[in-house]
Structure formats: C-alpha cells, structure tokens
Amino acid sequence: MLSNIWNTVLYEPLLNALAFLVSITPGEDVGIAVVILTILVKIILFPLSQKSIESQAEMNILSPELKKIKESGASKEEQAKQTFELYKKHKVNPFSGCFLVLIQIPIIFALYFVFLKGVNFEAGALYSFIHIPEHVNMIFFGVFDISKENFALAILAGVSQFLQAHFMPKPILSSNTNGSIGSFSESFAKSMHMQMKYVFPVFIFVLLYTGIPGVVPPLSGAVALYWITSNLFMVGQQIYVKKEKNFKMVIK
C-alpha cells in the first residue's frame, strides 16, 4: 500500500519529469536535466524551506532570552508561561521548522531515488504521453560521466555541503564569566554545527565516491550533481532569507 502511494504520488511523477526534460534537452544531456529538475523541485518547496530557515533563525535569536528564563529560578510552570509569552510576542512557533522539514523529506528522497536508479528509463514506469529518450547522454557538458562515481563531482558535492553548512543560521551561544559555554544544550548545538560544517562534507564525498564497503556502493555522478545543485540552491536561499528578514545571525 505505502509502496504504491510512494510510486504513484512521488517517484513516478518525478521520473516522468526527468524523462521529459531529457527528451527536450539539447543533446539529451541527463546532467542538464538533473540540474533543471532539482531546481524546479526546490522552487516548488521554496515557501516551506524558507519558513523552516526563518523559524530556525528566529529560535537562535531568542535563545539568550530563553536561557534567562531557565536561569531565573522560577518554577517550571512559570518558566513555561514565560516561554509561551516570549514565543507569542515574537510570533514564533518552535515546532513549525521541524514540521515543514518533515513534509519535504519524502519529496527529497523521491527525487534522490529518481537520480539513483531512474536514469535507465523503463517504459512501464513512464506515462503514455512521455517520450522515451532514444539516446541518453550521460556525459554532463561533455566532461563529467555521471553514469558512475565521479571524483570531481564528489569533491564539488563535499564543497557545496560545506558552503551550505557555513551559511546555516548558527546557534547563538552565551558564555559564563570564564568564557566557557553555559549549558549542555548549547555545547551540543555548537558540536552539531561544527560536525555539519567540517565532518559531514567529508562523509558526503566518501559516500559518493567510494561508498561504504559492504553496505553502500559508490553513488553515481547524477546523485552528486543533484547534491551540488540542491546545496547551492539552499545557500542562495539562506542568504536571501537573511537579507530579506534582516536576521541577526552569526556566520562564522
């Protein structure tokens, strides 16, 4: 049941969209089609992802005020009341960011699987009105072979992941008088930010180029191209949100 819903609502529409884009792309360049489809999906999801970024930035801005409430010595009930009033005053929903991310996940995964296994188009999975590309060109711009793992694209995917983490709203951390981070949650937030910025890009490169022996094979250049396009779009969106809303985010 769930697999039928997945195929009908998400996977097959995206696969058909990719086949259509390949058929109308000069030279039937799959790489160009991958970039276009990724951008189109990102544009459709733009309002949701923008709201998620805004929510994350707003929570970061309010974190010093939330810390003051926790350290006020008030009862749990009073702290909850003050926290609710703070959210209400600034019109912030602490759960909206998570909810909007959850909505996007199935679509992003479906898009990922289209690029992972959908390049070899099967007639049975395509709509009757979709033309099956006759000569699928897997050499992106005549340079990058995206039918298999590609070192250059894997490197670029890692770099784009670093940039995406670099421009993410950074947690605003308070310090004690000795300069140390004030709480476990703040230390954890800082640790996660550092890992997303420096460790995850390396993991992405390894996953794309070498895979995980015995678990995940190396991924195709098409997936790397999707990752690069998606990350660069997110970088642009994060810069746009910061400028548009004038959030006081610290990017380090």
Residue keyed to tokens 């140390």: 180
- pLDDT at position 179: 47
Rounded to whole angstroms, how far apart are CA atoms 195 and 197?
Answer: 5
189 pLDDT band, cuts 50/70/90, is low
CA distances from 162 to 52, 65, 177, 205 (A): 19, 30, 32, 11
Q: Where are the domains of the chain?
A: 2-245
What's the mean pLDDT when you consider all of the chain? Answer: 79
pLDDT at 136 over 60: yes
Nearest of 16, 189, 6 to residue 118 by alpha carbon: 16
Give pLDDT tens digits for 47-77: 877 777 777 777 767 777 877 887 777 788 8
- Please, which pLDDT band fits residue 173 given cuts at 50, 70 and 90? low
Residue 231 has pLDDT above 80, yes or no: yes
Residue 143: is its pLDDT beyond 80?
Answer: yes
Q: What is the pLDDT of residue 248?
A: 45
The predicted structure's pLDDT at residue 92 = 72
Of 7-11, 108-112, 201-205, which one has max mean pLDDT?
A: 201-205
Percent of the chain scoring above 70 in pLDDT: 79
Picking from 29-38, 53-62, 216-225, 233-242, which range would have the lowest pLDDT averaged per residue?
A: 53-62
User: What digits encode the pLDDT tens for the residues 148-171?
Assistant: 899 999 999 999 999 988 887 665
pLDDT at position 211 over 70: yes
User: Is the per-residue pLDDT at 180 higher than 50?
Assistant: no
Return the pLDDT at 249: 39
Average pLDDT on 70-93 reads 79
0.85 surpassed by pTM: no
Q: Where residue 250 falls among pLDDT bands split at 50, 70, 90?
A: very low
The 3-class SS string of the chain reads: CHHHHHHHHHHHHHHHHHHHHHHHCHHHEHHHHHHHHHHHHHHHCHHHHHHHHHHHHHHHHHHHHHHHHHCCCCCHHHHHHHHHHHHHHHCCCCCHHHHHHHHHHHHHHHHHHHHHHCCCCCHHHCCCCCCCCCCCECEECCCEECCCCCHHHHHHHHHHHHHHHHCCCCCCCCECCCCCECCHHHHHHHHHHHHHHHHHHHHHHHHHHCCECCCECCCCHHHHHHHHHHHHHHHHHHHHHHHHHCCCCCCC
What pLDDT was estimated at residue 49? 79
